Amino acid sequence: MMKRFSAKQLLMGLCMVAVVSGCHEKSGKTLVKFPEASGIDYCSDSDTLIVANDEGRYAEIDTQGKILHEASLGKYDLEGVVCEKETLIFAVENKGLLFVDRKTGKSEEITISEEYRGKSLELFNKKAGVEGIAKAGDTLYLAKQSKKKKDSFIAVVQLTRGVSEVVDVIYHDLADTAGLTFYEGYLYMVSDKEDVLMVYHIKKKKIVQKVKLGEGAWEGIAFDDKGDVYLADDDGRVVKQTNKALGF
């Protein structure tokens, strides 16, 4: 059975500062400063986090915020990351995906078709491209950026050899979805514009929870194996929320 949290529990753990009524600054801890942090994911095999930024750089940090490794991938606008045992998968806002070997650092660009039911989704655009990425099995979820709710969606992509295709589109009524992650079967979405976290039930195809965050430029979210939450702030920091603060 999947663990569910009440709105009150999530609010306790996810508010950043006193901007949200009843919350205090101590409920969140800035682990590390990292310029233009635009995506984050947890690596379960190494108990570390990968943080991506808009300037083509990424860092591997431990769960206490110590930077273990930094690297530059070139002129890429990295907007999200998925960490797997052997590979890092970066979402590049205006190009597609970038696969990076964790041992060698060798990278490869992967093409994603932008067509769905005969129309172009215009996923990869410099002004309004992909801003978030999550993965479940061989299925990728790519968040399309838009300041308008009606133009904001998540493209569901089936990874295959050659050009991967969009197999479904999730419309969620949330502007500027900038961060995605899966945790215990639910898809978590963070809005940069609205400072909210939404919990999406994949099978029921609906939002089951919406939680107001403190003010910030939130562009990434990850859970570790203890249930602690990490948020990437494009203003230049990584924030940790403990499982105690979440109420479990």
If you average pLDDT over every residue of the chain, what do you get? 84
Mean pLDDT of the region 80-97: 94
pLDDT tens-place string over residues 111-159? 899 999 999 998 887 777 899 999 999 999 999 877 777 778 999 999 9
Q: What share of the chain in percent tops pLDDT 90? A: 58
Helix (H, G, I), strand (E, B) or coil at 44: coil
The residue count of the chain comes to: 248
Homologous superfamily of the 7-246 domain (CATH): TolB, C-terminal domain (2.120.10.30)
Going from the C-alpha of 188 to that of each of 26, 66, 178, 216, 241, the distances in angstroms are: 23, 25, 11, 17, 15
Mean pLDDT of the region 40-69: 96
pTM: 0.85
Are β-strands 115-116 and 119-120 bridged in parallel, bridged antiparallel, or unpaired?
antiparallel
pLDDT tens-place string over residues 11-20? 444 443 333 3
Predicted confidence (pLDDT) at residue 27 exceeds the cutoff of 80: no
